[in-house]
Copies of this chain bind each other. A is one copy, B any other.
């Protein structure tokens, strides 16, 4: 006789496997799919979504889950049930017609947004965004009696609240603005890298660096995509990158970023395969891995020292020494676009979005007021004003596809990366000598043991606490940034 827990898990196993199939459809769409197949693929994705939703909202599962939850279980079993409960609650609480309406509107909205951005026409997107905000508020109300924003945030960062994040981000913002101002006021600035860099060689370097970090090509692959992303879990974790002949850092650091996501998924304990624990704990924890790989490791003085030599071998003289190259890799530039921002300014872009989207969801800001609010806030933090909406409130796809509560996980990931870097450096004091040899694998080994292998066993915050041995805070990130950029810019 099987127990209720075993029956729930057997059923969940099939759901996880089918969710993996759905993930592969998404990967293929962005990398391999012929252009003309878009409509057919939408049908396939829709059919898989419908199927997964039916499995998660099946009353028989809810009954079995309630029975399983009433038994006395070990930590892993409790964690599995916690994650299944999240899926079941989401699938059953949001009415089917609301979910369908959201899917319909956000699907249309992507095209409307893209056209509005291309035409710099906020008004063309405003009615669409008003609909989406209204639907997301309905969704939040269906999910929870409490804060609407928290209900949305919880889908990406379980357990986090807008209030907690606002407190943490409130401590970040003034010190980031002050650091930014000191940097732009400094007397000396690193030089940009000039030249043309063969794209095949960039890809070869990216593959080499991915392997040095510990990414396993036997269980993964790398392809090109317009917007790099990572995909999959277990023994099939794929990453993507892009190349720009004028900027080899674009390919290299977007690869390292995705390698962080990929190593996390590849590092999860194989015993969790096909269970809800078999993937990263949250968007924030995932971003902590991609960002520590990219920034605290990949943009460190030690690793860029090795990289300077390697790139000189591959591309010829770079026109600077290793010390100058370290500055070049980390140099700040003024700009309007989040995705092009450096380590210091990136979080200022995110905090702006976090504050504005909370106001949109709680109703204290209307969509009609968004552009003005965006530009005012941008000017307050950056000192200059976007001159057109494609440089401002129309730059990101997120809201058009209904992603509210997603942006803050970027900065939370950076904060977590700061905490993890502090603990890593404490536990692996000679890490810099390995990095200087082009070997970041001791960092992957430490992260795998402390964090990656545990998958979703613990809640996101507990995952970080377990890894660093204490409560996370913004202080390590700020100290790290102030020290690093003080050194580069000479203050």
Contact = CB atoms under 8 A, between A and B. Distances in A.
Contacts of A218: 34-36
Contacts of A216: 36
Nearest to A40: B235
A236 B20 contact: no
A235 B43 CA distance: 12
A37 B18 CA distance: 15
Contacts of A24: 24-25, 28, 44
Most B Cβ at <10 Å: residue of A33, A40, A220, A273 = A40
B217 A34 contact: yes
Nearest to A237: B34
Contact of A47 (B18, B47, B236, B238): B18
A50 B39 CA distance: 26
Nearest to A274: B43
Interface string A46-60: 011011000000000
B35 A25 contact: no
Contacts of A39: 235
Contacts of A50: 14
A219 interface: yes
A314 interface: no
Contacts of A36: 216, 218-219, 235-236
* Chain A: number of interface residues, binned into ranges: 35 or more
B234 A34 contact: no
Contacts of A73: none
Nearest to A41: B236
A17 interface: yes
A111 B234 CA distance: 24
Contact of A236 (B18, B34, B238, B273): B34
A393 to B, nearest CB: 35
A235 B37 contact: yes
A21 B20 contact: no
Interface in A33-87: 33-37, 39-41, 43-44, 47-48, 50-51
B17 A220 contact: no
Contact of A220 (B20, B34, B273): B34
Most B Cβ at <10 Å: residue of A35, A39, A51, A235 = A235
Most B Cβ at <10 Å: residue of A25, A32, A218 = A32
A221 interface: yes
A218 B236 CA distance: 27
B17 A44 contact: yes
Interface string A225-246: 0000000001110100000000
A26 to B, nearest CB: 12
A344 to B, nearest CB: 37
A33 B47 CA distance: 23
Contacts of A37: 219, 234-236
A305 to B, nearest CB: 32
A236 B34 CA distance: 7
Given A21-B25, A21-B47, A40-B234, 19 more contacts: A14-B47, A17-B43, A21-B21, A24-B24, A24-B25, A32-B221, A34-B218, A34-B219, A34-B235, A35-B218, A36-B216, A36-B218, A36-B219, A36-B235, A37-B234, A37-B235, A40-B235, A41-B236, A51-B51
13 contacts: A17-B44, A17-B47, A20-B44, A21-B25, A21-B48, A28-B28, A32-B221, A34-B221, A36-B218, A36-B236, A37-B236, A40-B236, A41-B236
4 closest A-B pairs by beta carbon, nearest first, are A37-B236, A36-B219, A36-B218, A17-B47
Interface of A: 14, 17-18, 20-21, 24-25, 28, 32-37, 39-41, 43-44, 47-48, 50-51, 216-221, 234-236, 238, 273-274
